[in-house]
Chains A and B, each alone.
Chain A
Amino acid sequence: AQKITQTQPGMFVQEKEAVTLDCTYDTSDQSYGLFWYKQPSSGEMIFLIYQGSYDEQNATEGRYSLNFQKARKSANLVISASQLGDSAMYFCAIVCRGSNYKLTFGKGTLLTVNP
């Protein structure tokens, strides 16, 4: 079975600063994908960034980057230059063949950006 652990229930960051949201994962599959989603209070899950298990370089998408450390089974999300609109729940998730490619999510981290 696959598992995602997000140990930070809540995080605070000042506007314009960078913040790291932690994610560790567990799977017996050799090939897997790691995803981060943002969920504002409206409820929609918004895709942010993807990292494949065989990707040698860390993924980046604008202000989002993924710090992928395969040996430690961690996939932390880094948000640079935080904005007030970044305040939301953030979910880390894993997809692999052993789970029929369904997303297995962590419990999420609530990020609050202070002005």
Chain B
Amino acid sequence: EAEVAQSPRYKITEKSQAVAFWCDPISGHATLYWYRQILGQGPELLVQFQDESVVDDSQLPKDRFSAERLKGVDSTLKIQPAELGDSAMYLCASSAGLRETDTQYFGPGTRLTVL
């Protein structure tokens, strides 16, 4: 069964360091999403790609976060410098397209701890 891959699964870093997360969506899925989930809350969208183009990055803190999907397949999310408040679960999801009927499938997530 096709799955969304993410790495690393866990990341511990010190504040002011740079971190990067990788996501490989389900093959053929045009739409890729990065969500952040703070403990005790539901996930919130950081950035959304359709192929290699950004559809929505309105909630991405652009002073420290960047995201790319250069070839329209896998994607990287970077934080530089990391802050204590960035400790969270970072979830990647993909869907076949941009319709309300398209199910988003999630990867296992990256649990980030900033010390």
Cα–Cα distance between A31 and B98 once the two chains are bound (Å): 13
Interface residues of B in 49-79 (CB under 8 A from A): 55-56
Give the number of chain A interface residues (Cβ < 8 Å).
28
In the assembled complex, the Cα of A102 lies from the Cα of B32 at a distance in Å of 10
Tell me if A75 counts as interface (CB < 8 A to partner B): no
Q: Does B80 contact A (CB under 8 A)?
A: no
Q: Is A35 a contact of B43 with CB atoms below 8 Å?
A: no
List B contacts of A44 (CB < 8 A): 106-109
Q: Which bucket holds chain B's interface residue count?
A: 20 to 34
Q: Are A43 and B109 in contact (CB under 8 A)?
A: yes
Mind listing 26 A-B residue pairs with CB under 8 Å?
A4-B42, A33-B100, A42-B108, A43-B108, A43-B111, A44-B109, A45-B91, A47-B103, A47-B104, A47-B105, A50-B103, A52-B101, A100-B48, A100-B55, A100-B56, A101-B99, A101-B102, A102-B48, A102-B56, A103-B35, A103-B93, A105-B42, A106-B42, A107-B42, A108-B41, A108-B42
Top 4 A-B residue pairs of the complex, sorted by shortest distance between their CB atoms: A105-B42, A33-B100, A45-B106, A102-B45
The residues of B with any CB-CB pair to A shorter than 8 Å are 31, 33, 35, 40-45, 48, 55-56, 89, 91, 93, 95, 98-109, 111
Q: Which residues of A contact B (CB under 8 A)?
A: 4, 31-33, 35, 37, 42-47, 50, 52-53, 91, 93, 95-97, 100-103, 105-108
